[in-house]
Amino acid sequence: MAGINPGSGPCALSECLRGDERDVRGMERECERTYHRFYNGILSRKASIIGLVLFLSFLLAAIFSPFISPCDPWDRFEPYLPPDQDHILGTNDLGQDILSELIYGSRVSLIVGFGAALMATIIGSSIGLLAGYFKGMADEILMGITDIFLMIPQIPLIIVLAAFLRPSFWLIALLMGSLWWTSTARVVRSKALQIREMGYVQSKRSLGFSHLHIIVSDVLPNLSQVVMPKFLLSIASAMIAESSISFLGLGDPSMKSWGMMINFAFSRGGFINGYWWWYMAPGLCITIFVLSIVLLGSFLEERDESIMEQQ
Amino acid sequence: MLLGKKATRYAIALFLIVSLNFFIPRSMPGDPLTNLLGEDIMLTASSVQELRERMGLDRPLSQQFLDYWHDILRFDLGYSFHLHRNVSDLIYDRMKWTLLLSLPAMVMGAILGTLLGARAGWKSSALRRTQTGFIMAIYCAPPYFLSLIALYLLSYKLCLFPLKGFYSTGSALDIAHHLFLPSAMMALFSLSRNYMIMKGSVLQEKGSLYATFARAKGLYDEQILFRHVFKNALLPIITLLALDFGFIFSGALFIEIVFSMNGMGSLIYDALLSRDYPVLQGSFLIITIMVVSANLLADLLYSYLDPRVRWQ
């Protein structure tokens, strides 16, 4: 995992996100190594459990947002209120309660993140699976396509497309999903290459089972351990990318995501006037959520490794 | 044979992405003329007709496509009707400033990130664990958010640094003063990524046999790390750095926006706000070319550094 953090410094937007495979493109052996390198021993088990708890609480907040938010995010009170008892996190320029915005915003941000990640994972896994399982010509063609997709500067492309289309959140998620499958495809392919040589696959093949049957019942279940952490990281990167795109003013103004909230605070003077509560809360939420995903990912990773060792 | 295959892939990728740049404005909803010139431009009916002819929009698509490639090969990226200048001149002007901002940041981030990351991976201590936690938090934060906070605290509240721009008087010292905070932020982000990768990489190498052998022959800890382990652990970082080179112009996008610096990033941002499509597309084209060449560089570098790949 080279970087979940798109947009930062030289590691531009999502480019570095897909870095884990990208940095060693064309070198499958190295692929998986680097991937494990990121997580290996970085975190203790305790940290992983904190990650899990945080992740679940964000998830619950998103699911039950109408029940836990103190008021409707579109209701208007007095503007620019600093945090106090009535409005725990204060209000924005339109007098909307920031805590409620934040809770409802988690829905938008999570849906975009999950949607994009799901799509990227499905595309990536199928391409990687087909390439790795069938090898030969299919592998050549599919990996050629993957190589070409890897070279597209994705965030700049999304920005250009978004500028033309003035997109909805669905479209942004769709664009991210259709561009970000490459690293998943690479990891899945190298795993599938290993699995197809395993005894149980070989024996099933010699017994005459169909490819479809072998893929569904033997290969797919074994891929989950590489796909799952990848999926989580895709969520994290999609969320950061979504917030970055929203920050550029290319988001959907009718949907309040965390990135949109920061964008509003930045463009409507919340920053110049020192209304720190306006942009601190959504920024921290993004950071903490992404952090929780990284921690959780390391948890899955550790679990898989211990399972592998036991086998 | 492998080289030939790779070269073809690069050529195809470059061709496809540059062609994409041709098809995007022509396939998007709305009038292609508007899509090519940008919005909010007042045009009379006669000038619309004239421009349409001059841009070749009345010709068949295949002819337009050939013209497009012809222009690109002559470095003609079109004309910005918002800024009344050639796009290539605009980009060229801004490039220098962005380079000044991001190059030192990338170098600093690479050096500090790898050194600190290597030490953190080599030996764990309470201090280093805190450091890792801190760097990981930076790594997970959206860059524009942290830059906003830094700008607010250091420039706005404490008045340590100027609030915006590359220079106010133009002397070297003044420029350095303006550049310090944005460069430092950028370096911090690149540091955080390099740190994480390097740490994992050293952890992995630490258990290998040659490290054990170096210990057995009596080398000091630091010597094992920097003489033997470091070089091997550096491999993934080097490729990443080569790839960073592709984003040298676009990577500072958010930093430039937050610190209101007139580089490539804010050129793109302003083009976005005013829907100045020629500038947007021209920048995308430059970024694309940079990214593809950085990929090539990374491939070459890696195969040069890692004999296992060279001999495959």
- Confirm or reject contact between A113 and chain B (CB < 8 A): no
Q: Which residues pair with B85 in a beta bridge?
A: B80
Q: What is the mean pLDDT of residues A4-17?
A: 34
> CA-nearest residue of chain A to B278?
A160
Whether residues A156 and B141 touch (CB distance < 8 A) is answered with: no
Q: How many CB atoms lie within 10 A of CB A80?
A: 16
- Confirm or reject contact between A171 and chain B (CB < 8 A): no
* % chain A with pLDDT above 70: 81
- Confirm or reject contact between A122 and chain B (CB < 8 A): no
> Which residues of chain A neighbour B24 with C-beta distances below 8 Å?
160-161, 164
CA–CA min distance A124, chain B (Å):
19
Q: Return the closest-CA partner of residue A149 out of A120, A116, A114.
A: A120
CA–CA min distance B130, chain A (Å):
11
Say which range, A74-83, A135-144, B87-96, B168-177, has the weakest mean pLDDT. A74-83
| Both structure tokens of A205 | 């093949």
Q: Which of A2, A27, A40 sits opposite B203 (nearest CB)?
A: A40
- Confirm or reject contact between B279 and chain A (CB < 8 A): no
DSSP per residue over B143-212, as a string? HHHHHHHHIIIIIIIS--S-SSSS-SS--HHHHHHHHHHHHHHHHHHHHHHHHHHHHHHHHHHHTSHHHH
> CA-nearest residue of chain B to A285?
B141
What span, in angstroms and rounded, lies between the C-alpha atoms of A67 and A62?
10
Whether residues B148 and A247 touch (CB distance < 8 A) is answered with: no
Q: Does residue A167 come out as left (phi exceeding 0), alpha (psi in the -120 to 50 range) or beta?
A: beta
**Interface subset of B 102-121, CB within 8 angstroms of A:** 102, 105-106, 109
> Which residues of chain B neighbour A276 with C-beta distances below 8 Å?
152
| B124 neighbors B205 (Cβ within 8 angstroms) | no
Kindly indicate whether the ipTM for this predicted assembly is greater than 0.85, answering yes or no.
no
Say which range, A198-202, A210-214, A269-273, has the weakest mean pLDDT. A269-273
pLDDT band at B135 (very low <50, low <70, confident <90, very high): very high
The number of residues making up chain B comes to 312
* % chain B with pLDDT above 70: 95
> What is residue B186's predicted lDDT score, i.e. its pLDDT?
92
Interface probe for A, chosen from B102, B128, B197, B275 (most Cβ of A below 10 Å), is B197
Kindly report the average pLDDT of chain B as a whole number: 83
Highest mean pLDDT out of A63-67, A116-120, B240-244, B297-301: A116-120
pTM score > 0.90 for this model? Answer: no
> Which residues of chain B neighbour A257 with C-beta distances below 8 Å?
none
Whether residues A153 and B253 touch (CB distance < 8 A) is answered with: no
- Confirm or reject contact between A22 and chain B (CB < 8 A): yes
Query: Amino acid letter at B200?
Result: G
| Both structure tokens of A16 | 């570095």
Q: Return the closest-CA partner of residue B194 out of B129, B112, B274.
A: B112
Q: Return the closest-CA partner of residue A161 out of B110, B62, B21, B232.
A: B21
CA–CA min distance B308, chain A (Å):
10
Q: Which of B140, B190, B245 sits opposite A290 (nearest CB)?
A: B140
pLDDT tens column, B164-189? 777 777 777 888 888 899 999 999 99
